[in-house]
Amino acid sequence: MEERETIVALATPPGVSALAVIRISGKQAKQIVKKSIKEKEKFEKEKERILGIYGIIDEKGEEIDKVTTIKYLAPKSYTGEEMVEIICHGGIFTINRIVEEIIKNGARCAEKGEFTKRAFLNKKIDIIEAEAINCLINSRNEKESRNALKKINGEHKKVIEKWKNEIIKIIAEVETEIEFGEEIEIENEKEQLKNLEEIEREIDKEIKKRERNQRIEDGIEIIIAGPVNAGKSTLFNKILGFERSITSKHEGTTRDTVSENVIFYGKQIKITDTAGIRKTNNEIEIEGIKRTKKEIEKGNIVIWVTSADEKMSDEERRELININRKIVVINKSDKEIKEKEKEADIGKIQNEYVKISLKEEKSEDVVIKKIKEEIEKILEQYEFTDVVQTKRQDLIIREIKSEIGKVKKHWETKEIASISLNKIIEYFEECLGKIDKEEIYNKVFETFCIGK
């Protein structure tokens, strides 16, 4: 194995904290740290995995911090190499000085994910565990972290192995048929095809789940739409807390879509104000309304703003009926002119609606509350995938699905089917990290943070 340089990085988040952990990994880890330890002999003699308290000194012998260290001997460490972990006090200045000393002593700064990459290269973990570790670090709630842990513990690897073994059995059968031709039992062949289709179904389920999740991951989009002059832009501005869209008493003020990002539930959510819907001959407005309809189609939640003082037009009725997830807001309740009529019309399409007057202060709060409820409902739909967890795995699984399609298509010509079946095995091996594809694996570690 090539000799790798000794690396150092802060493993805890940068910033002020009570304590911080600095990690050093590589053949020279112990010697490099020792140079900055005041009690060199004690450090040298200390057993592995035992905590020791030491002074860290600079080259002039001046003490920088009082720290705790733990030594790990290869291969019994996270990276599989010699390692030292220094638990120091969490001030930015102190941390930087210690890291600088370690670098002066001969280590270099670790790259993103380099510790985990070394663990992978030293076969301490496989690529799927490495990816799951990254997911665990980046998980934002209990559900996500529990799911990542399950993957670190190898639960989904078992599923991939199971699929792979099934395919191996099918290959054995197909190759026997290639060799012995017609003598093969028809029943057996049917059974194999059935198994293949079962794997295809399971893979398909995973892909669909991931697609659904992706829509949530990509960000929820809220569209504010409705008839002209209903107060859409006024509501948009009030939700944002600043005057983003122009509002006026003239109908058709907003001509184009206007978007901004807000944070709800720690997620970035795009909110878009649109051109009001009405019959018009104005070319620009027609284009604006076309855009509104496109936005309505792709939005996850539509806030339909309508005015209490206007009758419902056929155009409005048609649009409203076709929207799935919507929050209906009857605005301008201060005007009260046609309010009852409007409520009756809306009531025919949607049981629940809110009635507000945007002239009143904080009237947008009730709409924001509704938005949060809808977002919660969307987030509840987030289903964890059992197997596919990262983009890399997703791409491989899609390739496998496509190859299964080819196997089915050429089932009668076993020589061709066999080629695709063997490709599927290769893809499974790649997914499990058993095939040497350095570039691809490097990409995995690039998404990690430094110190991991």
Which residues form the interface with ligand GTP (CB under 6 A)?
A: 228-234, 247-249, 251-254, 276, 331-332, 334-335, 357-359
In whole angstroms, the minimum distance from the beta carbon of 440 to ligand GTP comes to 49
Residue number closest to ligand GTP, CB atom: 276
Rg of the chain (C-alpha set): 31
Q: Is 274 in the site for Mg ion (CB under 5 A)?
A: no
Residue among 134, 192, 233, 307 that touches Mg ion (CB under 5 A): 233
Q: Interface mask (CB under 5 A) for Mg ion, residues 239-258, using x and -? A: --------------xx----
Nearer to ligand GTP, 176 or 253 (CB): 253
Nearer to ligand GTP, 55 or 252 (CB): 252
In whole angstroms, the minimum distance from the beta carbon of 363 to Mg ion comes to 17
In whole angstroms, the minimum distance from the beta carbon of 361 to Mg ion comes to 20
User: What is the rounded distance in angstroms from the CA atom of residue 85 to the CA atom of residue 390?
Assistant: 30
- Phi/psi at 296 (5° precision): -60, -40
Nearer to Mg ion, 254 or 333 (CB): 254
Scanning 72-226, the segments in alpha helix (DSSP H) are 92-104, 114-121, 127-138, 142-152, 155-180, 186-217
User: How wide is the angle at C-alpha 389 spanned by C-alphas 162 and 23, nearest 5°?
Assistant: 110
Among 426, 403, 425, smallest CA distance to 416 is for: 403
Among 390, 392, 385, smallest CA distance to 133 is for: 390
Nearer to ligand GTP, 253 or 350 (CB): 253
Nearer to Mg ion, 160 or 328 (CB): 328
Q: Are strands 83-90 and 63-72 parallel, antiparallel or unpaired?
A: antiparallel
Within its chain, how far is the Cα of 240 from the centroid? Answer: 25
> Which of ligand GTP, Mg ion, none does residue 195 bind (CB under 5 to 8 Å by kind)?
none
Nearer to ligand GTP, 47 or 250 (CB): 250
In whole angstroms, the minimum distance from the beta carbon of 232 to Mg ion comes to 5
In whole angstroms, the minimum distance from the beta carbon of 268 to ligand GTP comes to 24
How many C-beta neighbours within 10 Å does residue 42 have? 12
> Which of ligand GTP, Mg ion, none does residue 191 bind (CB under 5 to 8 Å by kind)?
none
> Which of Mg ion, ligand GTP, none does residue 359 bind (CB under 5 to 8 Å by kind)?
ligand GTP
Among 431, 367, 360, 424, smallest CA distance to 393 is for: 431
Q: Is 237 in the site for Mg ion (CB under 5 A)?
A: no
Strand partners, 86: 22, 69
> Which of ligand GTP, Mg ion, none does residue 77 bind (CB under 5 to 8 Å by kind)?
none
In whole angstroms, the minimum distance from the beta carbon of 372 to Mg ion comes to 23
Which of 382-413 are b and which e, b meaning 16 or more Cβ less than 10 Å from the residue's Cβ?
eeebbbbbbebbbebbbebbebbebbeeeeee
Nearer to Mg ion, 135 or 275 (CB): 275
In whole angstroms, the minimum distance from the beta carbon of 147 to Mg ion comes to 42
Extract the tokens encoding 339: 């309010």
Extract the tokens encoding 40: 């060199």
Among 316, 296, 295, 298, smallest CA distance to 307 is for: 316
Q: In what order do the strands lie in the sheet with 301-307?
A: 258-264, 267-273, 220-225, 301-307, 326-331, 354-355
In whole angstroms, the minimum distance from the beta carbon of 308 to ligand GTP comes to 8
Residue 186's Cβ-side half-sphere holds a number of Cα atoms within 13 Å equal to 0
Strand partners, 260: 271
In whole angstroms, the minimum distance from the beta carbon of 254 to Mg ion comes to 3
Contact, 271 vs 240, CB < 8 A? yes
> Which of ligand GTP, Mg ion, none does residue 28 bind (CB under 5 to 8 Å by kind)?
none
User: What is the rounded distance in angstroms from the CA atom of residue 21 to the CA atom of residue 69?
Assistant: 9
Nearer to Mg ion, 270 or 423 (CB): 270
In whole angstroms, the minimum distance from the beta carbon of 248 to Mg ion comes to 8
Nearer to ligand GTP, 158 or 290 (CB): 290
Among 323, 333, 389, 337, smallest CA distance to 356 is for: 333
Nearer to ligand GTP, 122 or 357 (CB): 357
Number of residues in contact with Mg ion, rule: CB under 5 A?
4
Which residues are at the interface with Mg ion (CB under 5 A)?
232-233, 253-254
